[in-house]
Structure 1
Amino acid sequence: MNYIELQLHVSPDYTDILTAELAELGYESFVETDEGLNAYVTETDFNEEAVQELLDKYDSQTAIAYQVSSLEKRNWNAEWERDYEPIEVASQVRVRASFHKMDARFRYDIVINPKMSFGTGHHETTAMMLEQQLNLDFVEKAVLDVGSGTGILAILAAKMGAESVLAFDIEEWAVENAHENAELNDCPQITVFQGTISEVDPANRYHVVLANINRNVLLAEIPIYTSLLTEKGYLVVSGFYEHDASDIQQKSTESGLIFVNHMTNREWTSLMFQKN
């Protein structure tokens, strides 16, 4: 069976939403590039008319160009394995696929076999979230992972000693993948469900809330995250650009949080707050 590679030349502001839209059309894997986004789907599921309709939907908002090429499955698999390099964070965390050998120099070894290329550690926001976590004490703590994707943040929290980790995502594939990766990393303290923050019991309290999502969701939900934190609990967020950091910080301050730390990487930003 052959695969189709759809190469999108588009602003990075639109890669996340187009990834979600293409996933609904059956695309199985995604790779962010300097030009935009590459998406992959089996040849039998490829529908160029559907692609054109999708791009027309965003044509008035941003410039989008695309190219289509065919890849043989065996070449696609080899290319994916060749391009999927382990990620190293702060000389302490190494994120790898199962076909990579373990490297004993790293304190935390995380194995991620993604159904799609979300949360593999390759994106700047995920790497920053992992580095932020290294500055926290997770031992015997309760953790909430908002929009968990592959479960990578939940897995590091568990490996750092968290007693319980509740993770959730709105996508069915993400929940299945997070379950698989939690088992792969021997993290039984991780519970994953499909849903939104509204389905988290408001009576529960968490020592750490992790949220690597987008600006609009954060601005709407930061007050909820704050209400779910224990006294002196930490909120770590990312998924937005540096020019949005002031809005995120203002909403967090209004919600009763104190600014702790700020990280940037190629215009992406991560912020840490503590409950006052």
Structure 2
Amino acid sequence: MQYIQVTFSFTLIEEYQQDLLISELAEIGFNTFEDTENGFSAFIDLDSYSKENLTEALLQFEGDFEYTYTVTEIAAENWNEEWEKNFEPLIIDETCYVRATFHQSQPSYKYEIVIDPKMAFGTGHHQTTTMMMQYILESDAAGKHILDMGCGTGILAILAAKKGAAELVAIDNDEVCYLSAKENSALNDIHNITALCGGKETIPTHAYDIILANINRNILLDQIPVYAKVLKSGGEIFFSGFYESPDLQMIQDACKQLGMNYINHKKIGDWVAARFIKA
């Protein structure tokens, strides 16, 4: 598969401004982001890329900050080579160690996860993934039936499986992510994750104890009614992929209408993750 890499360079930009730009790019299909010395690179598969959509998204930031960008077409294997040069192992709450296949194992950590991203989102380095992993570490997943929406690499489902979840369904509408979730499950010797390719229509009509959804605000708002239908009474749902203002209140309002009550939220930078429980 071919990909488009858009590399942004900034003279001066606030962190929240960069996060807003990344959020807008995610809205139009960019699904992987990598920090660079002077900015960041964003990746999207060639079939999903639209020059017109990119131009329209950037118009929203006209006058806010100065930037330049380049657009490059790359092959997946070239991106993975570049990723390997820059990926560093990650430690979450001194409990979970996330590494690539080419890193040394660290069995002293309670949970070790091996990730080969293959252009899929979710190595734990992004703030949203980190906060979702923190929530999973704090939760009781043992014996639970869990749904992971927008699963990316499958990292969240894999961590929940390592914490003793009984059965997991991991769904992503990107075929690369779907295949990545399957491969990473195998890398971690996890055999109770069912990976599916699709959107909300793909969700099996089971009753879930926990739902994980790290996507973006608009998709979450569209899919929340479906989550409410398949989440057990007393079940937990964890959201991320959005900002504290105005997004969190919008998520809270949508959940409240469907009997899912806000409990608390985490924040790293401008990104937020939130916990809800169904009445």
User: Which residue of 1 is the match for residue 220 of structure 2?
Assistant: 218
Q: Secondary structure at the match of 2:141?
A: coil
User: Which residue of 2 is the match for residue 264 of structure 1?
Assistant: 267
The C-alpha deviation readout for 1:121-164, integer Å capped at 9, x for no partner, is 11000000000011211111110000100000010111111111
The equivalences for 1:1-276 within 5 A come to: 6-9=6-9, 11-16=18-23, 18=25, 30-33=33-36, 36-39=39-42, 53=52, 55-63=54-62, 65-67=68-70, 80-116=83-119, 118-202=121-205, 204-243=206-245, 244-276=247-279
CA 1:232 to 1:184, structure 2 compared with 1: closer, same or farther past 3 Å?
A: same
Aligned-residue offset at 1:80: 3.3
Indicate if the aligned counterparts of 1:149 and 1:175 stay in contact, CA closer than 8 A: yes
Q: After the TM superposition, which of the residue ranges 166-175 and 55-64 deviates more from structure 2?
A: 55-64
Aligned-residue offset at 1:22: 7.3
Q: Which amino acid aligns with 2:241?
A: G
TM-score norm. by structure 2 comes to 0.82
RMSD (Å), alpha carbons: 3.1
In structure 2, the gaps of 5 or more residues are 10-16
TM-score norm. by structure 1 comes to 0.83
- Report the Cα distance in structure 1 between the residues aligned to 2:39 and 2:234, rounded to whole angstroms: 40
Aligned-residue offset at 1:207: 0.5
Indicate if the aligned counterparts of 1:149 and 1:169 stay in contact, CA closer than 8 A: yes
Q: How many residues align?
A: 261
The C-alpha deviation readout for 1:212-250, integer Å capped at 9, x for no partner, is 010111122222212211121100000001112121122
CA 1:20 to 1:221, structure 2 compared with 1: closer, same or farther past 3 Å?
A: closer
- Report the Cα distance in structure 2 between the residues aligned to 1:62 and 1:158, rounded to whole angstroms: 41
Q: Secondary structure at the match of 1:128?
A: helix
Indicate if the aligned counterparts of 2:174 and 2:197 stay in contact, CA closer than 8 A: yes
Q: Secondary structure at the match of 2:138?
A: coil
- Report the Cα distance in structure 2 between the residues aligned to 1:247 and 1:21, rounded to whole angstroms: 20
CA 1:138 to 1:76, structure 2 compared with 1: closer, same or farther past 3 Å?
A: closer
- Report the Cα distance in structure 2 between the residues aligned to 1:141 and 1:189, rounded to whole angstroms: 12
- Report the Cα distance in structure 1 between the residues aligned to 2:80 and 2:184, rounded to whole angstroms: 20
CA 1:255 to 1:34, structure 2 compared with 1: closer, same or farther past 3 Å?
A: farther
CA 1:183 to 1:37, structure 2 compared with 1: closer, same or farther past 3 Å?
A: same
Aligned-residue offset at 1:205: 0.3
Aligned-residue offset at 1:21: 5.6
Q: Secondary structure at the match of 1:134?
A: helix
In structure 1, the gaps of 5 or more residues are none
Aligned-residue offset at 1:76: 7.7
CA 1:182 to 1:20, structure 2 compared with 1: closer, same or farther past 3 Å?
A: farther
Aligned-residue offset at 1:74: 11
Indicate if the aligned counterparts of 2:120 and 2:152 stay in contact, CA closer than 8 A: no
- Quote the sequence identity (%): 39
